[in-house]
Structure 1
Amino acid sequence: MGDQVGYLIGIDGGGTSTRALVRSRDGAVVGAGRAGPSALGQGVAQAWRHIQEAVQAAFVAANIRRPGWRQCAMVAALSGASHGPWRTAFLAADPGLAHLAAETDAFAMLVGAHGGRPGAIVISGTGSVAEALAANGERTTVGGWGFPAGDEGSGAWLGLHAVRHAQQAFDGRANASPLARRVWMLCGDEREALQAWCAQAGQHGYAQLARAVFECEERDPAAAALLQQATAALEDLALAIDPRGRLPLAVGGSIAERLAPRMRPALRNRLVQPRGGAVEGALELAAQAVQRQELEEIS
């Protein structure tokens, strides 16, 4: 494989878009491209279509004709890659790459944040999870159980609890606070309307309400309390993923980035600036795969 590969490709694919980053074997970044969503839960055929469009856009941006797939090694960090059947179906549709692997977006974010070196990361955006990579190569995952049972401290978790508060306020079980009124404005201020919103919202719908919690914090103790609970949940993830605090710690995702300054000093002092994101992590994993194969061929 090593002799065939001229280009390394990293993919970061989610429910709204796909990013591709292409690098030549000499280390030079060729280009970047974007396309539509490639979350595996939306279909493997769509994922591959948008991945290929993003890769094509990256080569077009560099004014380079896309080479044959046998000259490329790709690691795709995709939403849904942790689901075995989806991952298997995705890999089975390989267009003929010299190397192809599918990874979770969380692990790729970990690799990107620490440049492939050992470290830990707490991620909170729509959902939440913590990942760690030890010096011996061992991988650990904490959290990430999914909405609504898990994903504590995430945007969807904040939104769910904001709606619960609004429901209680509607019934008179809680004060009609600014946060409750904001939820009513966004989701419905009548019982049937609010019920209908809850029935169809899903994880992403609830996550859209996280902004309202932050905006209401200064004048609403209920919103402030939710953000305090969310911060504590992310601290729990950080402590569980690396109890002895030996690994450098990064945060990723819009919610974690906003809550990180609120963490206890012992955790804040361990925080490091991420070196890259999921697409850079996927590219690093592709480079590592080619290097391993070359060493195996030599030996």
Structure 2
Amino acid sequence: MLYAGVDGGGTSCRVRVEDANRNVLGEGFAGPSNSRLGAVRVYYEIEKACLEALHQSGRGREDFASLHVGLGLAGLGLESELQAMLSFPHSFASVCGATDAYTACLGAHAGEDGGILILGTGSCGLGIVNNDVINVGGWGFEISDHASGAVLGLTAVRSSLFAAEGCRPETPMTKAIMAHFKNDRQVMVKWAEEAEPHHYGSFAPLIFDHADDGDELAGRIVAKSVHEAGCMIQALVDKGVKAVCLMGGVSKRIAPRLPKEYLKILREPCGDAMDGAIRMVRKKTSEDQGALK
């Protein structure tokens, strides 16, 4: 019996495979796997990452039949998305699922109470207190994802176009973003027609770099995200969460900018979302086997 933990979001899919004795057999990496991209595309990425992980221990696709998979995916906060993923005709021994925030929280606190704030392409806060799950955000790019890379990028791209048309002062950041599109608004529009959250999120490092260099507009965009991150942390604290782990690439740039009062509750994670997904699927498989006895 083998177990796989999947950590899937708007930018990438990571998988770790363990055997029954908790020995790590391998890890794999593939493309975006937010459940909103559709089960066909997401399972394609998951299978690709699982194969890469299995190949590292001399195994292959034939081992899918004994591989129990825990899905920690962005987008699974919606019941319809969860059921779509679980009902899809997959190739694995079994599949269970939850949001990437839930599995990240399980991994971060080794199954104990605590909270996490994921700031990556998207964003989501989650806490576990006495088995109660507290959700903050994570409702998608269009209406949520505060303090995320995607929202940072969208704000900066819109502001850059606005500045290029003379509606606000240009800054080094707006000029750099427009140069990315060859200073051609039609190129920008064509890009936007097909752009996904991770495409917007790719601008986040540039925005932070310009903010660090004193770009006033970049600084305001970053400051808004820092404020929103603090609000999400406070919402978890208000609901009884005692310790919070920050996760995701954007969190590394936001953490140093947070107000000092939050530093006392921030913790380094014990493990990652793949650890949490494996904890989840091991528990589910054990419960299923117990029910059959």
TM-score where L is the length of structure 1: 0.85
Residues 166-204 of structure 1, C-alpha deviations (whole Å, 9 max, x = no match): 233234332221112112112353444444444443423
SS in 2 for 1:269: helix
Equivalent residues in 2 for 1:56-135, closer than 5 Å: 56-64=51-59, 71-95=66-90, 99-134=94-129
1:74 partner amino acid: V
TM-score where L is the length of structure 2: 0.86
> 1:74 Cα shift?
2.0
Please give the alpha-carbon distance, in whole angstroms, between the structure 1 residues aligned to 2:97 and 2:83: 9
* Counterpart contact for 2:28–2:52, Cα < 8 Å: yes
1:152 partner amino acid: H
> 1:284 Cα shift?
1.3
Please give the alpha-carbon distance, in whole angstroms, between the structure 2 residues aligned to 1:59 and 1:267: 40
Please give the alpha-carbon distance, in whole angstroms, between the structure 2 residues aligned to 1:261 and 1:76: 31
1:161 paired with 2:172, answer no
Please give the alpha-carbon distance, in whole angstroms, between the structure 1 residues aligned to 2:78 and 2:239: 31
Which residue of 2 is the match for residue 236 of structure 1? Answer: 231
1:253 partner amino acid: G
1:256 paired with 2:251, answer yes
Please give the alpha-carbon distance, in whole angstroms, between the structure 1 residues aligned to 2:81 and 2:185: 38
Please give the alpha-carbon distance, in whole angstroms, between the structure 2 residues aligned to 1:60 and 1:203: 31
1:76 partner amino acid: L
Residues 58-108 of structure 1, C-alpha deviations (whole Å, 9 max, x = no match): 333123577765644321122333344443233223557554212222221
User: Kindly tell me: are residues 244 and 40 of structure 1, through their superposed partners in 2, closer, same or farther at Cα, counting changes over 3 Å?
Assistant: closer
1:267 paired with 2:232, answer no
User: Kindly tell me: are residues 55 and 179 of structure 1, through their superposed partners in 2, closer, same or farther at Cα, counting changes over 3 Å?
Assistant: closer
Moved more, 199-208 or 235-244: 199-208
Which residue of 2 is the match for residue 54 of structure 1? Answer: 49
Q: Which runs of 4+ in 1 moved over 6 A?
A: none
Please give the alpha-carbon distance, in whole angstroms, between the structure 2 residues aligned to 1:102 and 1:10: 10
| Structural RMSD (CA) | 2.7
Moved more, 136-145 or 86-95: 86-95
2:99 partner amino acid: T
1:214 paired with 2:208, answer yes
Give the total of aligned pairs.
Answer: 292
User: Kindly tell me: are residues 177 and 290 of structure 1, through their superposed partners in 2, closer, same or farther at Cα, counting changes over 3 Å?
Assistant: same
Please give the alpha-carbon distance, in whole angstroms, between the structure 2 residues aligned to 1:16 and 1:229: 23
Moved more, 222-231 or 13-22: 13-22
- Which of 138, 141, 151 pairs up with 1:147? 141
Which residue of 1 is the match for residue 220 of structure 2? Answer: 225
Please give the alpha-carbon distance, in whole angstroms, between the structure 1 residues aligned to 2:19 and 2:251: 33
Structure 1 unmatched runs, 5+:
1-5
Which residue of 2 is the match for residue 3 of structure 1? Answer: none
The percent identity for this pair of structures is 28
Moved more, 12-21 or 243-252: 12-21
1:247 paired with 2:242, answer yes
Structure 2 unmatched runs, 5+:
none
> 1:265 Cα shift?
1.2
